[in-house]
Structure 1
């Protein structure tokens, strides 16, 4: 077997935890689905999926090796990711913060631009960069062929990430409609999501570099 079931389960749980906490991808997809419709959200989701694949290819070609050769690069990504996740948590938890399901209105854009925006948003998403560069390598077994493990575990991440984001696209409009009339529910969703983001920020700040 190319990878252990423990590694598959670990990657799936990590990605699930990161995917269900609001970040750039969820905010972008929810706002597009609510403001422009489900078809627009699915088009943006296709761009998001393409961004996942770009990271997967980069990891397979040796992204993790960079951090073994240049430890300072790992620290830089880790600190930047922790700060950014902390910023997202503050945006949720601060007085007057907004829920991801109560987004500001967005101007309609064409499908090609929707795809490109989904792609770029994901490529610039530090949660995904940190996942592939710092967290995924921790599930790699050095005694087994490396690139097949990255392909399999990266594929698990893509499936989980696209599935969760797909549910966001399909349910954002309906959920936003339900929550808008329930300010307490919106506030609770905001606090739960913000607390989870803050937890990920703290965890990432103390993450150790995987052994080479």
Structure 2
């Protein structure tokens, strides 16, 4: 009989605590079981193994990131929405660095739930760029550039060792991205 309170969602919560504390390398079924206070075989009543757990984590992380971005962009449009997206994305990535590094930038297309979760954030980015009067093709290019900029800035954030304020660099990046309307139209 499954332990009371142990569900796939509770296991994902425990796995996220393991990842938050020790990074992606700390994610093992034994560590998650210990966090849940059960023996490792007890997890198999709820998840088929580490690959399935990683898929569930991918979904949760993308859901969290998407929620943060949506919350930031509600009621905004154009440059204001784009800036809000970039700040929220960066805030999530820096606030949860181990979770962020665990989420694949290209989710497994054979996992429909992970692919759908990743697609939802793209839908938000596409919606933001609709206000820029871009064609669908230009929106795809603009979204790729935005994702590359946001991901690169988030991943490199800890590597910026010079004394100049990183927030100034972030402001320059945001202002550069606001010119995407012109750049996307030039490229097509």
* Shorter-normalised TM range: 0.3 to 0.5
TM-score (norm 1): 0.31
CA radius of gyration, larger in: 2
Q: Which has the higher contact order (CA 8 A, sep 6+)?
A: 1
TM-score (norm 2): 0.34
